[in-house]
Structure 1
Amino acid sequence: MADFFNTYGFLIVSMLLGAVLGLSLYLPLMAGQLSLASPGFYALGGYIAAILSTQVFKVPEGSLFPIPLVLLEMLISGVVAGLLGIAVGIPALRLRGIYLAIATIAFVEILRILALNLDITGGAVGIFGVPQPFQTAIEYLWIALPLLLLSTIFVYRLENIRVGRAFIAIREDELAADAMGINPTYFKVLAFTLGAILAGLVGAVSAHFLNTWNARQGTFDASIIYLTFVLIGGSRVYLGPVLGGMVFTALPEVLRAIADIPGLPLWLSQFLRDGRLIIFGFFIVVGSIFFPQGLVTPDLLKGWRKGWRRRGEEGKR
């Protein structure tokens, strides 16, 4: 078991962080907003943590970085990402559909260009040697697992209170929601901001987890990957992005394992290694046609709940 965790610890933690990133994109979608800004807030959170840990909260070389400071960095990253989310969301969320997607992609590119040209971010090289709070990758479960559980519970509860119902009403029919007294602008900005906060928190953890941070963390490619998490996992229920984030974070490693199979044609092996975005794009196209609501749908979730209730009733008998 120890060998298993040593071998796959990095992948396991990456899957959990990917699931939280999926939820960060799902929150704006709850209010009907196709936002691709999560990579920008993710990169921002990572830069804040990397700068604070290497230039402000310095620790002696060779010693572990204090976990309370990691939590403080997460708090600061979440607050800054949330404030920026409000500043960006108020003007951007006047747009809808593909126009909003383009605007948020532009926001991600603006942050990336800034990161490439600022000295504090390390330019194109980035920030190296981000201190580690743990000795092994698998120990990051102490942060990643609670973060995923709390995020999932938060989104689940959000769907079942007034705010979440307002999000869903706006998604289904914004004009009807407005006629019922729901303020679309307020709730769309709120959903966008919550997603930004969640992405910033994950970025702060990821900076330490990856030990380095640069502008490649927040790109258009990342936007497509995170969109795949939600569209294929499920865009109508909170478990969809969680499943999608885990599966599609692990997919590149699965493709690499298949590419290493002896006897595989060289062109196919090379495609499996380097054609990740093509494969992700294929999944988006196929999923949008055959699974418009994703693999995990509200009806499927209701079916699971009914099955669990029946088993519980049979067990009592």
Structure 2
Amino acid sequence: LRGIYLAIATIAFVEVLRVISLNLDITGGAVGIFGIPQPFQTQLEYLWIALPLLLISMVLLYRLERIRVGRAFIAIREDELAAGAMGIDPTYYKVLAFTLGAMLAGVVGAISAHFLNTWNARQGTFDSSIIYLTFVLIGGSRSFLGPVVGGMVFTALPEILRSLADTGGLPNWLAQFLRDGRLIIFGFLIVIGTIFFPQGLITPDIFKRRKIQK
């Protein structure tokens, strides 16, 4: 699959897994897995695990972009037909990309389960997929740094919106929208971002300009 069909199939596969997890005993059904031990006393202490793993992931992805596998990924992203004509096997590298992404997602999921003290199918809904997509599209998918910046910005954005809603003096409908309408705001930002920033906020050109200036 390629293009929009790959995206649709991915979303459908996630929904299939979510419904299966809702009906299996091993996943706790609708209740999920609860009582997962928390190794730290406060949420801030999880940075001792999260930050090193983030830095390691960024270094690995930075190096991946500069080896043969990474260049094959880039070629398929730019033009899959041309990449195949040059001898690159799109199917092999797509499966490899999904595998690497699943490994990273598994690590994040394990940490999140301990952080939240529970895990259930609600953590893998379509709403979550939209949020993660926003991280990548707005932050930038052409640089290892883009999704990191996008994730930080859009993780903090709902809290900022809630703070604005609680300041007082706003109409009730607007305050309620700021609290509960984050998916609408995220969708609007995706549309605006794809029009005015098709490559995201962080692009490889930023690093090239810095090198030229030096």
TM-score > 0.5, shorter chain as reference: yes
2:59 to 153, 157, 163: 153
Indicate the residue corresponding to 2:9 in structure 1: 103
In structure 2, distance between residues paired with 1:194 and 1:220: 21
2:43 to 128, 137, 143: 137
How far does the alpha carbon of each residue in 1:203-250 deviate from its partner, in whole angstroms, 9 at most, with x for none? 000000011111100011111110000000001111110100111111
In structure 2, distance between residues paired with 1:137 and 1:102: 35
SS at match of 1:160: coil
* Greater relative CO, 1 or 2 (CA 8 Å, sep 6+): 1
In structure 2, distance between residues paired with 1:231 and 1:215: 24
Superposed counterparts of 1:125-204, under 5 Å: 125-204=31-110
Q: Runs of 5+ in structure 1 lacking a partner?
A: 1-94, 311-317
In structure 1, distance between residues paired with 2:79 and 2:33: 45
SS at match of 2:45: helix
Superposed counterparts of 1:1-317, under 5 Å: 95-307=1-213, 310=214
In structure 2, distance between residues paired with 1:151 and 1:306: 27
How far does the alpha carbon of each residue in 1:266-299 deviate from its partner, in whole angstroms, 9 at most, with x for none? 1100000010110000000000001000011111
SS at match of 1:231: helix
In structure 2, distance between residues paired with 1:248 and 1:159: 25
CA RMSD of aligned residues (A): 1.1
Indicate the residue corresponding to 1:9 in structure 2: none
Cα shift at 1:196: 0.9
SS at match of 2:4: helix
How far does the alpha carbon of each residue in 1:101-141 deviate from its partner, in whole angstroms, 9 at most, with x for none? 11111111111111111122221122222101111111111
- Aligned-pair identity in percent equals 80
Q: Which amino acid aligns with 1:157?
A: R
In structure 2, distance between residues paired with 1:174 and 1:126: 40
In structure 2, distance between residues paired with 1:200 and 1:99: 24
In structure 1, distance between residues paired with 2:34 and 2:203: 41
Indicate the residue corresponding to 1:68 in structure 2: none
How far does the alpha carbon of each residue in 1:238-263 deviate from its partner, in whole angstroms, 9 at most, with x for none? 11101001111111111101110121
In structure 1, distance between residues paired with 2:169 and 2:78: 51
Structure 1 ranges of 4+ moved more than 2 A: 304-307
Q: Which amino acid aligns with 1:106?
A: A
In structure 2, distance between residues paired with 1:111 and 1:176: 33
In structure 2, distance between residues paired with 1:305 and 1:114: 50
In structure 1, distance between residues paired with 2:185 and 2:84: 40
Cα shift at 1:150: 0.6
In structure 1, distance between residues paired with 2:156 and 2:88: 40
SS at match of 1:187: helix
Segment of structure 1 superposing worse, 271-280 or 183-192: 183-192
In structure 2, distance between residues paired with 1:111 and 1:157: 32
Task: Summarize the Cα distance change of 1:129–1:261 in structure 2 as closer, same or farther, 3 Å threshold.
Answer: same
In structure 2, distance between residues paired with 1:247 and 1:112: 27
Taking structure 2 as the reference length, the TM-score comes to 0.96
Q: Matched residue pairs, number?
A: 214
